């Protein structure tokens, strides 16, 4: 029996099925005349009486239709008489109906696109991507909002739910994120050129792998081999110079030792600068799942400003604010779609590069990036900190917790081994316990700071 017939039968037999599928079904999805006619009668009945129809009622409505021939009346009536009030597998039929709607929507969109290309309609060719996108996006989503009273129990469970997070191996980062990075979030590191954005991401990627997580590291700035070299130095605890002269036998032993300690994996994928965006990343994720059975727990993108947008073509008519905003929104959308945290980085402005107190206003190219990110922090390096082999970290935006708590703190850094580490508490004391309000580097903040002093 064709799926169209089962769908029509389900509309009469089960009210739960009726209410779930009627909002998504359309007359154009049905190919048979009988199914089209009866479907229209059913939807008219539901709109009028808001309940599941019975066969006799629809037969009466059918007899009142004046736009059908005698043979058409007879065929539809015979069709209705063949519907038996048997029980159905509702879950199976809902799933099959969803697939039916998706297939028919795509088929209709393709046929309409062909007519547009052949010039048989007045519709512009620019409408074709929208037609196909709408068809591909059909989904039976039963969630239509949170009822404050009826869903109170669900809300209470959410408040007490222990969220799954990807922890750092750095104490203060775990403190300010309440245990690590959450899924479906965009997290941004802000720093000047050469300060250590890639170092930070390589260190975190290595830490994630040693925690047994799968890591996808997408690079558009450095070669795959350079990123892998940094991760090697971090995990093996040797300098980059020592790595280049390490004998093959010793190297193999270290790799085996790392492999024995974790079930996690890192895959590094290189794209040419400014030539890849979320569509490429989405394709890569699907390929990795099929060909390597690899599903990442976190994605690193090195780095956001040199991605391309999937929605906007960069040119003279598009400013950097709009373009970077689009990229940030698309990366966050990717995080939601694949249920993972996405971690990336961005550059400071020229003023921010020389600043010892970086603020959100020092974000290069687009202030829309901080507006989109869930978590954003700055890595600050000065000559004094370099001598101490330290970074200062400053929170800029934090949806995980109060950004005023541990606004600034210190990290130890071993650049030769591409490794970060916690420092003694005394290194934090001056900046954490300082009662001076936190000011950014804007002109207004400088005036406020003078007044405070």
Side-chain-facing half-sphere of 385: CA atoms under 13 Å: 19
Give the span between the Cα atoms of 207 and 202, in whole angstroms. 9
Residue 101 sits at the vertex; the CA angle it makes with 98 and 102, to the nearest 5 degrees, is 85
Q: Residue 2 is encoded by which pair of tokens? A: 């064709």
Residue 353 has pLDDT above 70, yes or no: no
Q: Tell whether the torsion through CA atoms of 308, 311, 314 and 319 is positive or negative.
A: negative
What global pTM score does this model have? 0.66
pLDDT at 331 over 60: yes
What CA–CA distance (Å, rounded) separates 161 from 230? 37
Q: Write phi, then psi, for 363 (nearest 5 degrees).
A: -70, 130
Q: What is the pLDDT of residues 132-141, one digit of tens each?
A: 877 877 777 6
Eight-state DSSP code of residue 221: S
pLDDT of residue 438: 47
User: Which residue in this structure is represented by tokens 């690079």?
Assistant: 219
Q: What integer pLDDT is reported at residue 18 of this predicted model?
A: 86
Q: What is the pLDDT of residue 169?
A: 92
Q: pLDDT value at position 442?
A: 55
Range with the lowest mean pLDDT among 32-36, 37-41, 81-85, 333-337?
81-85
Q: With 90 as the cut, is the pLDDT of residue 433 above it?
A: no
Nearest CA-CA partner of 189 in 374, 412, 24: 374
Look at strands 408-414 and 419-421 and give their pairing.
antiparallel
Contact 344, 187 (CB under 8 A): yes
pLDDT > 90? residue 267: yes
Specify the pLDDT at position 129. Answer: 81
pLDDT digits (tens, 9 = 90+) for 52-73: 888 888 888 888 888 888 888 8
Does residue 451 register a pLDDT over 70?
no
Under the banding of pLDDT at 50, 70 and 90, the label for residue 450 is low
140: number of Cβ within 10 Å? 14
Q: What is the pLDDT of residue 205?
A: 96
- Give the residue-averaged pLDDT of 350-370: 77
Residue written as tokens 């000047």? 192
Question: Average pLDDT for residues 357-365, to the nearest whole number?
Answer: 81
Does residue 266 surpass a pLDDT of 80?
Answer: yes
Q: In what order do the strands lie in the sheet with 375-380?
A: 265-270, 214-219, 298-302, 342-347, 186-191, 375-380, 390-398, 408-414, 419-421
259 CB neighbour count, 10 Å cutoff? 11
Q: Which residues pair with 165 in a beta bridge?
A: 182
Average per-residue pLDDT for the chain: 86
pLDDT at 290: 87
Predicted local confidence at residue 300, as pLDDT: 97
Range from 144-148, 305-309, 390-394 carrying the lowest mean pLDDT = 144-148
Phi, psi of 408 (to 5 degrees): -130, 145
pLDDT at 360: 82
Is the pLDDT at 449 greater than 60? The verdict is no
**Which residues 6+ apart lie within 8 Å of 337 measured at CB?**
282
pLDDT at 330 over 90: yes
Greater model confidence, 432 or 109:
109
Q: Is the pLDDT of residue 1 over 70?
A: no
Q: How many Å apart are CA 430 and CA 340, to the nearest integer?
A: 36
pLDDT score of 126: 79
Whether pLDDT at 441 is above 70: no
Is the pLDDT reported for residue 343 higher than 50? yes
Domains of the chain with CATH codes: 3-136 (1.10.860.10), 165-452 (3.40.50.300)
pLDDT digits (tens, 9 = 90+) for 194-227: 888 999 999 999 999 999 999 999 999 889 999 9
Q: Is the pLDDT of residue 418 over 60?
A: yes
For residue range 233-247, what is the model confidence (pLDDT) as tens digits?
A: 999 999 999 998 999
């Amino acid at each position: 029996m064709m799926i169209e017939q089962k769908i029509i039968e389900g509309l009469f037999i089960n009210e739960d099925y009726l209410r779930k599928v009627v909002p998504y079904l359309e007359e154009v999805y049905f190919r048979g005349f009988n199914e089209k006619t009866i479907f229209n009668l059913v939807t008219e009945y539901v709109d009028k009486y808001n309940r599941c129809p019975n066969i006799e009622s629809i037969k009466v409505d059918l007899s009142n239709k004046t736009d059908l021939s005698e043979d058409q009346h007879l065929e539809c009536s015979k069709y209705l008489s063949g519907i038996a009030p048997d029980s159905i597998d509702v879950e199976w039929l809902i799933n099959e109906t969803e697939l039916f709607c998706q297939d028919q929507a795509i088929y209709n969109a393709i046929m309409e696109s062909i007519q547009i290309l052949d010039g048989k309609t007045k519709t512009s060719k620019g409408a074709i991507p929208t037609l196909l996108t709408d068809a591909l996006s059909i989904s039976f989503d039963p969630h239509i909002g949170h009822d404050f009273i009826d869903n109170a129990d669900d809300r209470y469970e959410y408040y007490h739910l222990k969220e799954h997070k990807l922890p750092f191996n750095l104490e203060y980062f775990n403190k300010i994120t309440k245990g690590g990075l959450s899924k479906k979030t965009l997290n941004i590191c802000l720093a000047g050129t050469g300060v250590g954005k890639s170092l930070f991401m390589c260190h975190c990627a290595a830490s994630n792998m040693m925690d047994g997580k799968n890591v996808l590291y997408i690079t558009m700035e450095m070669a795959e081999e350079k990123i892998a070299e940094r991760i090697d130095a971090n995990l093996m605890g040797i300098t980059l110079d020592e790595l280049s002269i390490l004998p093959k036998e010793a190297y193999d032993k270290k790799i085996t030792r790392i492999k024995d300690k974790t079930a996690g994996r890192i895959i590094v994928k290189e794209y040419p600068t400014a030539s890849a965006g979320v569509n490429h990343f989405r394709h890569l994720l699907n390929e990795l799942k099929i060909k390597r059975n690899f599903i990442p727990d976190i994605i690193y993108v090195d780095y956001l400003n040199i991605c391309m947008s999937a929605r906007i073509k960069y040119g003279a008519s598009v400013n950097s604010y709009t373009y970077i905003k689009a990229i940030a929104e698309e990366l966050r959308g990717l995080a939601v779609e694949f249920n993972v945290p996405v971690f990336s980085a961005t550059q400071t402005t020229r003023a921010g590069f020389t600043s010892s107190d970086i603020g959100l206003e020092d974000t290069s190219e687009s202030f829309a990036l901080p507006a989109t990110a869930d978590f954003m922090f700055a890595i600050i390096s000065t000559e004094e900190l370099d001598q101490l082999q330290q970074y200062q970290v400053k929170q800029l935006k934090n949806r995980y917790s109060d950004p005023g708590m541990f606004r600034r703190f210190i990290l130890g850094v071993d650049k030769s081994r591409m490794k970060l580490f916690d420092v003694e508490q005394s290194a934090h004391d001056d900046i954490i316990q300082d009662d001076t309000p936190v000011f950014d580097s804007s002109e207004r903040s400088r005036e406020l700071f003078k007044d405070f002093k």
